[in-house]
Amino acid sequence: MKFLFVIDPIKNINPLKDSSAALMQASSKKKIEVWTCTPQDLEARGDEVWASSMRAEVCPWVSFKENKCIPLAEFNCIWMRKDPPVNEAYLYATHLLEVAERKGVKVINKPSSLRAWNEKLGALRYSHLMAPTIVASKVKDLINFAQINHDVVVKPLGGKGGQGVIRLTKDSPGIKAMIELITSQEELPVMMQKFIPEVKEGDKRIIIVNGEPIGSINRIPQGGDFRSNLAMGGKAEKTNLTAQEKKICTELSQQFKDEGLFFVGIDVINGMLSEINVTSPTGLREIETLSNKSVSDQVIEKLLEII
């Protein structure tokens, strides 16, 4: 069996922290050949897509066995784990991966769903589970929302890991100029949400695999920052799911399965859904460290059940 991981350059991956590394190592333990490439290594020749890929020995970490161009149809599964931004290059890569999908290759996550589920906007499908939210580019509408809700956070729709997320109040100096800046003079929509003060107690990342929650961590903001993302210095703590969080997972489960979203990370703050991460959800290493369980092994086992 042969898996291809479409990822950022391997030299940029920290095996002690990276969820892609955990999945690659778990695959190798199952005697699955692990190959890697970047989106720029994909190319179409007629109706066949190929990847200039490297076969990797990933236990304990990477040494490369061989490097060659392989038709994607030769792989049993392709993991699309390239980090955002979801730009033109990313979108074109998903179209190329669809060619392999049409030839029967399992692509995780489904390319069309990677395009359809923006990690901020996707959660709007379940707006009743969220804090009050607006997505807009008009300055007056965003200021009005801030005035109604008093304390808000603003998120760029293409961001990752908490980058570019800011907190404003209705009385913030220069709020109009700030919103003009982040919307590029009303050219780009942004997401604005009512600030949830309970975020100081944690922002929970829940990993959902084939519709089933298999692990979670609570991320605590540090150093006076309201952002809890691990990439922003948030501290991971062991946690269990509350009844409300289990209810959220149950409500999302079937649609994830129906739309080919096999590996998803959702974020929940104080019982309210915040984001649905589908491109390259993180947190596996921290969950494994805190739970002393090999969650990545469970992910691969669940995948092998459906290939």
- Which listed residue (81, 155, 160, 204) is catalytic? 155
Half-sphere exposure (Cβ direction) of 204: Cα atoms closer than 13 Å? 23
Is 267 annotated in the active site?
yes
CA atoms within 13 A on the CB side of 232: 20
**Separate counts of helices (H) and strands (E) for the chain:** 8, 16
225 is catalytic: no
Q: Are strands 48-57 and 42-45 parallel, antiparallel or unpaired?
A: antiparallel
- Determine which one of 101, 203, 275, 286 is catalytic: 275
Residue 258 contacts residue 217 (beta carbons within 8 Å): no
219, 245, 285, 286: which is the annotated catalytic residue? 219
CA distance linking residue 79 with residue 58, whole number of Å: 16
Q: Is 45 marked active-site?
A: no
**Catalytic residue check, 275:** yes
**Rg from Cα positions in the chain:** 20
**Is residue 227 among the annotated active site residues?**
yes
**How many Cβ atoms sit within 10 Å of the Cβ of residue 59?**
13
- Choose the catalytic residue: 267, 285, 286, 288: 267
**Selected catalytic residue, list 82, 110, 120, 194:** 120
Q: Of 227, 229, 285, 288, which one is the catalytic site residue?
A: 227
> Among residues 224, 94, 87, 256, which one has the least CA distance to residue 156?
87
The partner residues of 154 in beta bridges, in order of sequence, read: 166, 192
Task: Evaluate the CA torsion angle 15, 18, 22, 23 in order and state its sign.
Answer: negative
CB atoms within 10 A of CB 66: 9
Exactly one of 81, 204, 205, 285 is catalytic; which is it?
205
The active-site residue, picked from 109, 149, 218, 277, is 277
Show contacts of 57-64: CB within 8 Å, 24+ apart: 57/28, 58/21, 58/24, 58/25, 58/27, 58/28, 58/34, 59/25, 59/28, 59/29, 60/15, 60/25, 61/15, 61/21, 62/10, 62/15
301 is known as an active-site residue? no
Catalogue the active-site residues: 120, 155, 205, 219, 227, 267, 275, 277
